[in-house]
Amino acid sequence: MAQAVLFNTKDQVINAYIANNISRWGVFIQKELVCAWEENDMEGGTSALEDCLERMMEGGTDGILFLRVYPPGSGVIKYSTEPLRGFPFRLFSNGAPYRQQGTKVIEQQQRIEQLERALLELQEEREAEEEEGSSNRLMAGVTNFLQHPEMQQMMIAGIRTIVGKITGMTRQPASVAGMPPVSPDASQGDKIDQALDILEAADPLLGDHLLAIAKIAKENPSQYQFLIGMLPK
């Protein structure tokens, strides 16, 4: 035979407890004591019972429970303690409040997941900003380095030498003084000749510098392309 349930929902159980006007109580699931109030204080017992029932509702307890009340002086409350009165009850009527409670839990989980995603996106944005700031600082340092006169001179001299090697040109140093300007339409060979004349007069270590630039072009083409991209057009 199915167990008869006298009360459903927390409020019905609280009202039935107050109507009995007996302060000491214990809530059981079968023979297991869930919580109890052993003081002779109705106001405190009511508050404690409400807290107990709310915690079980939060946990989704949907089985049949028993509330038993005990007279003063009945000792420690346990299953073998003789109750004065008692009744079975459920916290949810026909499972509907339970489903509502489950929906609330799902909604809370969804909100937590949304917050976690928002925090993750914020962290990624900050990391990207920090990475971009580091890249900008690196580029500023490289730009300052390349703006140094000696570095620019090395770049220009090296580029001209590389072009000269590609075209297989050979030449003898010429005097820089009084050298006529080269026409924009002049061949690359003529431009190389004049550039080398100027650089040889200005840079006593031109050979070393040219070799350094040539080594960069051979071993690190991407760095070489970056360097020539810094030259004035």
Q: Are 8 and 57 in contact (CB under 8 A)?
A: no
User: Tokens representing 41?
Assistant: 């204080």
Domains of the chain: 7-99 (3.30.1490), 143-229 (no CATH)
Mean pLDDT of the chain: 77
Report d(CA 119, CA 126) in Å as an integer. Answer: 11
Digit-by-digit pLDDT tens for the chain (233 residues) are 456 788 888 999 999 999 989 999 999 998 899 999 999 999 999 999 999 999 988 888 778 899 999 999 888 999 999 999 999 999 887 655 444 555 566 677 777 888 888 888 888 888 888 777 766 666 666 566 555 666 656 666 666 655 555 445 444 444 444 555 666 667 777 777 777 878 778 888 888 888 888 888 888 888 878 777 766 65
Which residue's entry shows tokens 């204080």?
A: 41
User: Tokens representing 221?
Assistant: 């083409």
The model's pTM: 0.40
Helix boundaries (H) for 147-187: 149-167
User: Tokens representing 230?
Assistant: 């810094």
